[in-house]
């Protein structure tokens, strides 16, 4: 059983060393623990500090690409390195490593594919009152959209099974936390949560630069993912709203015509009702087309999953594979290529 601790970082020379050294190298039920650092275009000594602290693997991105890109590269590289479980940690030391055994326990027991650490939001002193309320409200929205019951949907301290690492595909450029959770709920990956604590912040957040910007980006991310994974429900909902408005205007026209004025007129309401009725029809047709495209997307997602699994596992579909490095093969067995990406390993 191989556990890989994935740590994306960007200009974290002050904290990356202590974060790596805090990672436990021996855990119950785990044969091997490795640390994978994804350097997101750092311009300081982050890479040197990570290597000096004992990082097993360092992947350097060609320039600063953002947290989502680093997360995607990390999952792909962890899978190619034969990870059975992947734990994602922040480089700034916010996530206490003593919680790692609790995060991976449901996966080791075969009870979950994705385990999310749930922070005590109400007790975190660094969070303002408005940020706490936004966290709670945003988590409720994500639970409703994803069909999961995770209480803290923005926490990045998580554990992924190999199956989850192969199936999840991040498309949004801003943050991976919401999309992976919504995608997991929509693709029937089993999710669960465990309580965790947080260490005091060592620096201001680079994701939440301002509350209005954070709220706007999160809302856009939620809406985009919801339309992507539930297009028919979204468009039919919009079409239903337009139908209700058209019906209300039609009733207004009839009431003014027959109950109030008793003479022709007020055709503006009737014209607007007709326009809304036409718009509702167009939106409903768009929903049907989007649903058909969604079926193709599911097929493409399954193809990508199968390609990943066959390319990264020397034994193909054998889930009871030994942990062998990518590209290795037994005598008489053809070597399999590993998928490339625009990165190189230091």
pLDDT single digits (tens) 43-60: 999 999 999 999 999 999
Q: What pLDDT digit, counting tens, does each position of 273-316 carry?
A: 889 999 999 999 998 998 888 778 778 877 877 887 777 655 44
pLDDT of residue 227: 81
DSSP state at residue 260: I
CA angle 206, 207, 208 (to 5 degrees): 95
- pLDDT value for 226: 76
Q: Percent of the chain scored above 90 by pLDDT?
A: 34
Q: Quick check: 110 and 118 in contact, CB under 8 A?
A: no
Of 106, 107, 7, the closest CA to residue 47 belongs to 7
pLDDT of residue 258: 66
Instruction: Please say if the pLDDT value at position 259 is more than 80.
Output: no
- pLDDT of 241 strictly over 70: yes
- pLDDT bin (cut points 50, 70, 90) of residue 263 is low
**Segment 90-104, tens digit of pLDDT:** 988 888 999 999 999
Say whether pLDDT at 335 is over 50.
no
Q: Nearest to residue 93, comparing CAs of 175, 203, 196?
A: 203
- pLDDT mean over 245-266: 73
pLDDT-based confidence at residue 208 (cuts at 50, 70, 90): low
The residues pairing with 9 across neighbouring beta strands, listed in sequence order, are 39
C-alpha–C-alpha distance, residues 133 and 211, integer Å: 11
Ramachandran bin of 273, using left for φ above 0, alpha for ψ from -120 to 50, beta for the remaining angles = alpha
Average pLDDT, the chain: 80
Spatial neighbors of 293 by CB under 8 A, at least 6 apart, are: 231
Per-residue pLDDT averaged across 200-213, rounded?
Answer: 64
Tens digits of residue pLDDT in 5-44: 999 999 999 899 999 999 999 998 999 999 999 999 899 9
pLDDT at site 53: 93
At 257 the pLDDT is: 66
Q: Tokens standing for 273?
A: 């009702």
Q: What is the pLDDT of residues 113-161, one digit of tens each?
A: 999 998 887 666 666 667 777 777 777 777 887 788 888 888 889 999 9
**How big is the chain, counted in residues?**
346
Q: Residue 38 pairs with which residues in a beta bridge?
A: 8, 59
81/301: higher pLDDT: 81
pLDDT, greater one: 84 or 339: 84
b/e per residue 77-112 (b: at least 16 CB within 10 A)? bbbbbbbbbbbbbbbbbbbebebbeebbbbbbeeeb
- Give start and end residues of each alpha helix (H) in the chain: 16-21, 46-52, 67-80, 100-108, 129-146, 162-167, 177-186, 211-229, 231-255, 267-312
CB 307 within 8 A of CB 19: no
Confidence (pLDDT) at 231: 85
């Amino acid at each position: 059983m191989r556990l890989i601790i994935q740590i994306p970082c960007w200009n974290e020379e002050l904290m990356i060393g202590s974060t790596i050294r805090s990672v436990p190298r021996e855990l119950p039920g785990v044969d091997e623990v490795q640390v994978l650092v994804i350097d997101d275009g750092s311009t300081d000594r982050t890479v040197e500090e990570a290597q000096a602290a004992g990082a097993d693997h360092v992947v350097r991105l060609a320039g600063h690409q953002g947290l989502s890109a680093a997360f995607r590269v990390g999952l792909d590289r962890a899978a190619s390195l034969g990870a059975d479980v992947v734990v994602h940690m922040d480089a700034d030391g916010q996530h206490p490593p003593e919680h790692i055994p609790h995060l991976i326990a449901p996966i080791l027991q075969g009870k979950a594919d994705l385990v999310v650490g749930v922070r005590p939001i109400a007790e975190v002193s660094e969070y303002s009152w408005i940020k706490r309320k936004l966290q709670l409200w945003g988590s409720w929205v994500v639970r409703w959209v994803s069909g999961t019951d995770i209480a803290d949907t923005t926490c990045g301290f998580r554990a992924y099974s190999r199956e989850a690492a192969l199936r999840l595909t991040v498309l949004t450029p801003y943050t991976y936390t919401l999309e992976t959770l919504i995608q997991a709920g929509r693709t029937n990956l089993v999710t669960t949560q465990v309580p965790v604590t947080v260490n005091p912040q060592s620096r201001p957040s680079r994701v939440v630069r301002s509350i209005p910007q954070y709220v706007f980006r999160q809302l856009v991310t939620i809406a985009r993912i919801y339309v992507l994974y539930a297009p028919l429900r979204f468009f039919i909902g919009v079409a239903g709203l337009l139908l209700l408005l058209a019906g209300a205007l039609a009733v207004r026209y009839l009431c003014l015509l027959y109950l109030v004025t008793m003479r022709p007129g007020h055709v503006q309401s009737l014209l607007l009702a007709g326009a809304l009725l036409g718009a509702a029809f167009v939106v409903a047709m768009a929903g049907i087309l989007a649903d058909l495209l969604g079926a193709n997307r599911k097929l493409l997602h399954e193809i990508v999953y199968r390609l990943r699994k066959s390319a990264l596992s020397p034994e193909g579909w054998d889930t009871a594979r030994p942990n062998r490095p990518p590209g290795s093969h037994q005598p008489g067995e053809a070597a399999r290529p590993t998928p490339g990406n625009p990165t190189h390993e230091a």
